[in-house]
Chains A and B, each alone.
Chain A
């Protein structure tokens, strides 16, 4: 277990302890809720993880290294931010594409920009959820306020990896 995992587990136990203090009924509800969420997610895991591992084996390495490689700098960060924003679909569909970018030789700052860009701009999510539920004014507010963030994430990552070496790749 990593330090982050231990921290998450401790916080979760504290929160569950707070439920117990409210009374056994509250704790039971929280436990049942946990179980339901877990059962709902296991089928997704059962197909998503093998798919990711198979794709990782399949994709040729270093196909896009000149565009978004570790030495592509600011232009690479811009390209990655834009590419991230244009990627279609939710995480089920998009993370295989993200994996393809990683395998194709993307640098760490460029990947940070790509994922941030996708999280913020995800066009499909705006069209299918945000606009219908919250209206275009909310979409405009959020997009204007968040516009520079993917590039900022890329630059911050670039400075970070000069100090702390962080690589891409599974555990």
Chain B
């Protein structure tokens, strides 16, 4: 179970960094500062929790309603901006890390998605995946910043997909 190991490895790593930070903070500013930070973390959690539940529910419902095969058919070489838009929304709504997203690219390619749509899909997942947005960017950098950056970069995967369709690099999904 390599993915399981990776998951636990990152939890252990984050935990270790957190513990070290707590120790350093406690030595520098005392226990009050550590408690204040933990209370702040709890407030962050309460702030994100509704969006987290809503985002996961949306992703789960879409997984039931739309199969990747059907999505891929809308993302062919002749799909134009509409296909790039479908790819961009699909990418932003794909939860999970690279172990979930990259294999999906192969599924979409098998269903007929072209290189431009796949470039848009992966970029959209990397740039604006809702999970990363809710778990990291909103709590750490603030909702104002996260929302502004998301709005500004939302159309970028479509532009990049448009460019990728015109680049003279042929790509076939590996068999």
Contact = CB atoms under 8 A, between A and B. Distances in A.
A134 B149 contact: no
Given A33-B60, A170-B139, A134 B54 contact: no
Contacts of B106: 133-134
Interface in A146-171: 146, 149, 152-153, 156-157, 160, 164, 166-171
Given A90-B10, A133-B106, A119 B127 contact: yes
A70 B42 CA distance: 30
B144 to A, nearest CB: 5
B96 to A, nearest CB: 8
Contact of A12 (B21, B36, B54): B54
Contacts, number: 273
Most buried by B among A13, A48, A167: A48
Contact of B13 (A12, A13, A93, A99): A93
Contacts of A1: 50
Given A53-B38, A130-B102, A145 B164 contact: yes
Interface residues of A, number: 83
Most buried by A among B24, B57, B61, B159: B61
B41 interface: yes
Interface string B51-66: 1111111111111110
B105 A142 contact: no
Contact of A15 (B33, B41, B58, B152): B58
A93 to B, nearest CB: 7
Given A38-B56, A53-B44, A157-B148, A12 B61 contact: yes
Contacts of B127: 116, 119-120
Interface in B104-119: 105-106, 115, 118-119
B95 interface: yes
Contacts of B98: 90, 125, 128-130
Given A34-B57, A92-B14, A116-B127, A9 B50 contact: yes
A56 interface: yes
A88 interface: no
A45 B152 contact: no
B147 to A, nearest CB: 6
A137 B136 contact: no
B51 A92 contact: no
A167 B147 CA distance: 11
